[in-house]
Structure 1
């Protein structure tokens, strides 16, 4: 059996972001500020690597304190009861990563686009690998169903969440 190479996330060069439509006329961006990710791989191309990810739900930041407080409440993430969201990969073929995403205690299999941007050695002699992950999930699949309707009949929060995740890992 080959040795597995372990990688840990480089938080200062990574971002876990998302975008969601607000009232179907504008896009709100947000991110989780407190997260961790690791990779174990046997291959330089990272195919079939094991990706693991956690984010603290109370670290959500949409640059609006009232909205962030609402997102942490029982209407959405219920951060007091479900302090983390997690992802564990099942497969990665070089284009798509498939795995179990758990949000607010509900686990669903998701398939996301994942671009491997390569490996490089930084000026401090650390070997790093970069990935860009994108895809769409339905928040309602995870029980995040709160919504409201404006007087004009527009839905306040879209069901579709667009993931925008940039991760850089440091070889251990």
Structure 2
């Protein structure tokens, strides 16, 4: 069924962000982001039904506003950025409310489903058509080999296994 032309939409990185949140010592939340990422959507219709989404983020661009923590996250305890410089996502299905696809981190690929919100399209002052999306979901970092942890004196773990992913993405119609 390759008879209909697909429209390519590229991520507008200056109007997008990929963030994560993880509980620290089970009492507070640490937020971080990937500052260097790329991706696109391919669709055959204006409502993005069954669109294909792909994105990647450079692990070395991780930023939690703490240099020592960022370096620890890049180390083999967590992402192992030297050997695994990118995380990637490739969708398998998108129904408008959720997107399911393969998330690859540190050489491990797992199927994940993220809640999706399509915020519609608009034309900017320069005549470019933009589309906005919010994707949100939760993964278990240990599923991807990010297993480092420590226990406090009181017996609580330092880093939660659950990681919340939040991607606010704007795409530009090509």
Q: What is the TM-score normalised by the length of structure 1? A: 0.99
| In 1, Cα distance between equivalents of 2:49 and 2:74 | 35
Written as runs of structure 1 = structure 2, the 5 A alignment for 1:46-125 is: 46-125=48-127
Distance 1:25 1:71 in 2: 20
- Residues 1:164 and 2:171 are matched in the alignment: no
CA RMSD after TM alignment:
0.4
- Cα distance in 1 for partners of 2:119, 2:139 equals 23
Unaligned runs of 5+ in 1: none
Paired with 2:72 and 2:45, the residues of 1 have a C-alpha distance of 43
Q: What's the offset of the Cα at 1:2?
A: 1.0
Correspondence 1:15 to 2:14: no
Q: In structure 2, list runs of 5 or more residues that go unmatched.
A: none
Query: How far apart are 1:43 and its partner, in Å?
Result: 1.2
Q: How many pairs does the alignment contain?
A: 172
Where 2:49 maps in the other structure, the secondary structure is: coil
Task: For residues 73-130 of structure 1, give each alpha carbon's deviation from its aligned partner in whole angstroms, at most 9, with x where no partner exists.
Answer: 0000000000000000000001010000000000000000010000000001000000
